Chains A and B, each alone.
Chain A
Amino acid sequence: MEGLNYIGAGLIVIGAGLGIGKIGGSAMEAIARQPEASGKIQVAMIIAAALIEGIGFAALFAA
Chain B
Amino acid sequence: MQIGNYIKILFFSLFLTFNAHAQHGEVKSEEKTSEKQEILDEIKEVKAHHLADSHDFTFVSTKEGTHIGFPLPVILWDNGLKIFSSSKFEHGEAVAEVAGNHYKIIHHKIYKTDAQGQVAEEHGHPSKAAAVLDFSITRNVVFILLVGLLMLWMFTSLAKSYAKNNGMPLGIGRFLEPVIIYVRDEIAIANIGEKHYKKYMPYLLTVFFFIWILNLLGLTPLGANVTGNIAITAGLALVTYLITTFTAKKDYWKHIFWMPGVPVPMKIALIPIELLGTIIKPFSLMIRLYANMFAGHVVLMSIVGLIFIYKSWVGGPLSFGLAFFLSILELLVAALQAYVFTMLSALYFASASEEHGDH
Contacts and interface: CB of A to CB of B under 8 A. Distances in A.
Interface of A: 6, 39, 43, 46-47, 50-51, 53-54, 57-58, 60-61, 63
For chain B, which range describes its interface: under 10, 10 to 19, 20 to 34, or 35 or more residues?
A: 10 to 19
Interface of B: 2, 186, 190, 284, 287-288, 291-292, 295, 336, 339-340, 343-344, 347
A44 to B, nearest CB: 10
A51 B190 CA distance: 19
Contact of B344 (A50, A58, A63): A50
Given A57-B292, A57-B295, A60-B291, A47 B284 contact: no
Contact of B340 (A47, A60, A61, A63): A47
- Interface residues of B, dominant DSSP: helix
A63 B347 CA distance: 30
Nearest to A63: B2
A21 B295 CA distance: 20
Nearest to A61: B291
A50 B281 CA distance: 12
A43 B185 CA distance: 13
A53 B290 CA distance: 12
A10 to B, nearest CB: 10
Contacts of B343: 43, 46-47
A57 B186 contact: no
Tell me which of B190, B291, B295, B343 has the highest count of chain A C-beta atoms within 10 A of its own C-beta: B291
Given A43-B186, A47-B343, A47-B344, A54 B287 contact: yes
A51 to B, nearest CB: 7
A54 B22 CA distance: 43
Nearest to B285: A54
Given A43-B190, A50-B340, A57-B292, 15 more contacts: A39-B186, A46-B339, A47-B344, A47-B347, A50-B288, A50-B344, A53-B288, A54-B284, A54-B288, A57-B287, A57-B295, A58-B291, A60-B291, A60-B295, A61-B287
A39 B343 CA distance: 14
A45 B305 CA distance: 35
A60 B291 CA distance: 9
Contacts of B292: 53, 57
Contact of A58 (B190, B287, B295, B336): B287
B288 A57 contact: yes
Contact of B336 (A46, A54, A57, A60): A46
